[in-house]
Chain A
Amino acid sequence: MKTCLVVDDSRVIRKVACRILNELSFETEEAENGADALVACQRRMPDVILLDWQMPQMTGIDFLKSLRRDSKGNHPVVLFCITENDPAHISEALGAGADEFILKPFDRGLIAAKLAEVGLV
């Protein structure tokens, strides 16, 4: 079973995302900020990370930078969840190693489509 780490400071959004991912046959884990997510990744590297941008403690982009510094190559796949498609933000995140973007609010169809695009379903 493929694993997905859901990183978001909103408990509701984590729950919604996990339910969708479970339905898509992913095993899920949650983290509420970038720092917790790094710890979770050290414990066990997931196949894919659903990553929020704005979070207290450690933002999504800072998390992504340290993740890519520490791990080899492009693993795991990182799907950035954003609320506005600001090209400057997007290029910053692409530079930091994001694979794809999901615009909030997301639904099952969108998550499934993006996972398919990156070859995970």
Chain B
Amino acid sequence: MNSHDFSYLANVLHRRTGIILAEKKTHMIETRLMPVVRRFGFRDIASLLKELHYGHEALVQAVIESMTTNDSAFFRDRKTFEEFRDIVLPVLKLARSETKQLRIWCAACAAGQEPYSIAMVLDDAKLIDAGWTITLIATDINSQMVARAQDGIYSQFEVQRGLPIRRLVSNFQQEGTSWRISDHLRRMVSFRTFNLLDSYGWLPDCDVVFCRNALMYFDLKTRASVLDRIGEILAPDGALLVGPAESTDGYALGYVPADSAPGLFYKSKPAPVRRLSLVK
């Protein structure tokens, strides 16, 4: 791929998703584009990129999806889930004891491991039995990932990491060499394809937002604007959970970090001075 093609692709991707492509990753980019080349019947990457100029939506979407990194795991960064279970949930259970309503958004759900991990924690807490209404929305820009998440079928390799065996046997059914998430957990989650750069108008006000390991692919300005907009739909006492690598200062601008709980933030008034100095 020549540098002209690279810049064009990087530009399309950044404009549509906020994701920054590094030129030194050309080899990886080409490997990821090849399935799209074949699927759409192009001769090579160059002719695909030429066609991309015409902006056919299906092609643009396929190229964007091929550029996303979708790795995930059940209970990835286990500490985050402990914080959710031990710090966030107990407080919200008290604060929402009147309405008994909880709304959670998992904003970059990949193949569903994260929302199903959240569902398992909620299931353990027996909230639904106690009459709570739980809305658990899971979204990702990658429609193929969302479809996989909806199916809820995982390989042996995927269930091996992060899932204790007792959870595996109690929350999944084996189907040949794969494992399918239990129906009652699957029904707890509503999936939808959604780009974090699009309008959040359809989302309800949320009590908890998980936005983990996605912001780190974005440029600083996009991170700040996504976090701003998450702040707009987050309840005043709501919590935001980001990845541990994302919990350093400068990421969760305008949020207050929870004491000694890496990756957990509470909503607060944005601090404009600090924010401006950090955004390029």
Contacts and interface: CB of A to CB of B under 8 A. Distances in A.
A94 B166 CA distance: 8
A110 B165 contact: no
By secondary structure, the B interface counts as helix
B55 interface: no
B164 to A, nearest CB: 6
Majority secondary structure of chain A interface residues (helix, strand, loop or mixed): helix
A113 B157 CA distance: 12
Interface of B: 156, 160-162, 164-166, 168-169, 174
Contacts of A85: 156, 168, 174
A100 B166 CA distance: 8
A103 B165 contact: no
Contacts, number: 26
Interface in A80-106: 85, 87, 90-91, 94, 98, 100-103
A66 B164 CA distance: 24
Given A90-B169, A91-B169, A100 B164 contact: yes
Task: Give the contact-size bracket for chain A.
Answer: 10 to 19
Contact of A110 (B160, B168, B169, B174): B160
A91 B156 CA distance: 17
Interface of A: 85, 87, 90-91, 94, 98, 100-103, 109-110, 113, 117
Contact of B162 (A87, A94, A101, A113): A113
A86 to B, nearest CB: 8
Given A94-B166, A98-B165, A113-B160, 5 more contacts: A90-B165, A94-B169, A100-B165, A110-B160, A113-B162
Nearest to A80: B165
Contacts of B162: 113, 117
Contacts of B161: 109-110, 113
16 contacts: A85-B156, A85-B174, A87-B174, A90-B165, A90-B169, A91-B169, A94-B165, A94-B166, A94-B169, A98-B165, A100-B165, A102-B160, A103-B160, A113-B161, A113-B162, A117-B162
A87 B169 contact: yes
B156 A103 contact: yes
A101 B166 CA distance: 10
Nearest to B179: A85
Contacts of A90: 165, 169
Contacts of A100: 164-165
Contacts of B165: 90, 94, 98, 100-101
Nearest to B161: A113
A50 to B, nearest CB: 15
Nearest to A101: B165
Nearest to A106: B160
A117 B164 contact: yes
A83 to B, nearest CB: 11
A104 to B, nearest CB: 11
Contacts of B168: 85
Nearest to A98: B165
Contacts of A91: 169
Nearest to A90: B169
Contacts of B174: 85, 87
Contacts of B164: 100, 117
Contacts of B156: 85, 103
A98 B165 CA distance: 10
Contacts of B169: 87, 90-91, 94
B200 to A, nearest CB: 35
